[in-house]
Amino acid sequence: MPETSLPEYDLAIIGAGPVGLTLASFVGQAGLRVLVVEQLPALIDYPRGVGMDDECLRTFQAIGLADAVSRHTTPHQWMEFRTARGKTLALIKPQTTVFGWPRRNAFIQPLVDKVLFEGLARYPNVEIAFSTELKSLVQDGGGVTLHVAGGGGAERAIHCRYLVGCDGGRSLVRKSVDIPFEGQTEATRWIVVDLEDDPVGVPNTILYCDPARPFVSIALPHAVRRLEFMVMAGETEETLTSETGLRGLLGRIMPHPEKARVIRSRVYTHHSRIADTFRSGKVLIAGDAAHLMPVWQGQGYNSGIRDANNLAWKLIEVLQGRSDERLLDSYTAERRAHAGAMIRLSTTAGRIFSPTNRVMAVLRDVLFSAMKYVPPVRDYIVQMRFKPMPTYEQGVVVHGADGDHVVGRMFPQPAVRRADGSTALLDDVIGNRFAILSWAVDPGIYMGEAASEAWRRLGGRTIIVRPPTESAAVADADGHETVCDHTLALKDWFANGRVSTVVIRPDRFIAAAGGPQQIDGMIGGLGDVLFATPDAASAGRPKRAARGGGR
């Protein structure tokens, strides 16, 4: 194979799907040189994911694209489970905006992916190569060499410091580094039908738990309707996607199926699989390349964006020389367990929704009908509290202070009032960096010289929160800003959390927590779990500093 000179990139990403595009935006923001390699000539133009959660929108906020993305969403999307007789089995209706955005949102994936793609134009250091296929890869001490072929068949070699495979369930990147991908494929198949000029019109998502043929009806933005029907034994894709077959299916939910305007229809199969590890040397995997899950909780798309949010800042820390590459091991430690929990939840939800055995369906209906009359159980379902939230016991978390019960959890995002009287979501005040957030007092008063230097090298900010009765909101100075908690959401959080000072990671998870006088231990412990390089960490960390756990 002919080889030309090896262009150098800090990061190469295989796959221009939402995970790859999001990761490229994060790393592009940091000024690093990024190449995205995509085998197709353009972005995929058909919808796949249709459900977006609050964590996902918060991630898009971090790359400056949440407002543009939200134009293609329907917020506060309900999910209703109905029996074959039309009775409501369960209603998922979360109204919380604890992370700054609605918990459940319908969306149009091609339009959102376009926003993510166009957002990369902000960064001249980010390149995208369409119609370019990965052929092979080789790791060495300096990075990864990729052999790729362009649309005309010309082959070339590309060298990068790190490689992330965002190339789907059949990932060549994952296979090239021999990472096992264990799990199962469901025996049942489903036909997806997308319609324009919505002929049903009812908002939200309805799951019809009819053992004769379970199906789903989803209202999407821009008057698009998605319908999903189980493929029954003996049925073929050719029959179901024919004009007669589609009319028979659509007639279950509309009076004039012949007038429906079909955009597309296709049959797919559910998979439940997860990779043994998400890292092999300088090669990492994310999104569907790392995990596949059934669609029932709409978490496949969201789990991939969580991967990008978790991995991006760690890659930046390593690529910019502040952390040793051992930091990247925390990506698997933190993300794999939660992805596995989401797979189990989605698999269980599908089995509850779609049994074709009538006896099992009746038993399910009776059980869920009774649960509606037990308020704690009802609220647990309605507010979507069953959804496993990422909680990190290992990885970039510091244990040993007084705040272990909140460490490893995502910090909330209320609006706060700034010195000029404007209000902003908390993340927009912090920016994409580490932050110390403290109630009422500046913990820097108690910070020793070594911790101060380590914090400066991290580029961290300090945000002091005061109640609205104190008009002491002051402008940013030397990495400090005081804001007013005019909604009292932060006062309540600190009171319930029984801590007054937290160290927040760039992905908004709590790395350490305690009181202001414990700040040296928190910063020292953070340096440990970040594997801070000698020139990025202070020398002679205070002896009293608590060492971080979870390596």
Quick one: 174 and 297 in the same domain?
A: yes
Q: Is the pLDDT of residue 160 over 80?
A: yes
Quick one: 33 and 125 in the same domain?
A: yes
Q: Angle CA(144)–CA(147)–CA(153) in degrees, nearest 5?
A: 160
Residue 335: which domain range? 8-73+107-181+276-351
The predicted structure's pLDDT at residue 22:
98
Quick one: 34 and 130 in the same domain?
A: yes
Quick one: 17 and 164 in the same domain?
A: yes
Asked if residue 84 belongs to a domain, the reply is no
Asked if residue 149 belongs to a domain, the reply is yes
Quick one: 24 and 145 in the same domain?
A: yes
Domains in the chain, number: 2
Quick one: 286 and 160 in the same domain?
A: yes
Quick one: 306 and 430 in the same domain?
A: no
pLDDT band at 388 (very low <50, low <70, confident <90, very high): low
Task: Report the amino acid identity of residue 494.
Answer: F
The predicted structure's pLDDT at residue 85:
82
Quick one: 344 and 422 in the same domain?
A: no
Q: Is the pLDDT of residue 381 over 60?
A: no
Quick one: 157 and 293 in the same domain?
A: yes
The predicted structure's pLDDT at residue 6:
56
Residues 381, 371 contacting (CB under 8 angstroms): yes
Asked if residue 356 belongs to a domain, the reply is no
pLDDT band at 84 (very low <50, low <70, confident <90, very high): confident
Q: Is the pLDDT of residue 380 over 50?
A: no
Token pair 């960390």 in the structure block, residue: 541
Last residue of a domain, one of 330, 351, 372: 351
- CATH number of the domain that 424 lies in? 3.40.30.10
The CA–CA distances, whole Å, from 123 to 78, 132, 214, 483 equal 37, 21, 46, 31
Percent of the chain exceeding pLDDT 70 equals 85
The CA–CA distances, whole Å, from 477 to 184, 278, 443, 502 equal 54, 40, 15, 20
Quick one: 429 and 327 in the same domain?
A: no
Residues 6+ apart with CB under 8 A from 440: 464, 465, 466, 500
Mean pLDDT computed over 410-436: 96
Measured in degrees and rounded to the nearest 5, phi and psi for residue 218 equal -125, 125
Last residue of a domain, one of 351, 366, 386: 351
Asked if residue 259 belongs to a domain, the reply is no
Asked if residue 299 belongs to a domain, the reply is yes
Quick one: 327 and 448 in the same domain?
A: no
Asked if residue 488 belongs to a domain, the reply is yes
Asked if residue 250 belongs to a domain, the reply is no
Quick one: 139 and 280 in the same domain?
A: yes
Last residue of a domain, one of 295, 320, 351: 351
Asked if residue 438 belongs to a domain, the reply is yes
Q: Is the pLDDT of residue 40 over 90?
A: yes
pLDDT band at 493 (very low <50, low <70, confident <90, very high): very high
- CATH number of the domain that 157 lies in? 3.50.50.60
Helix (H) or strand (E) holding 254: none
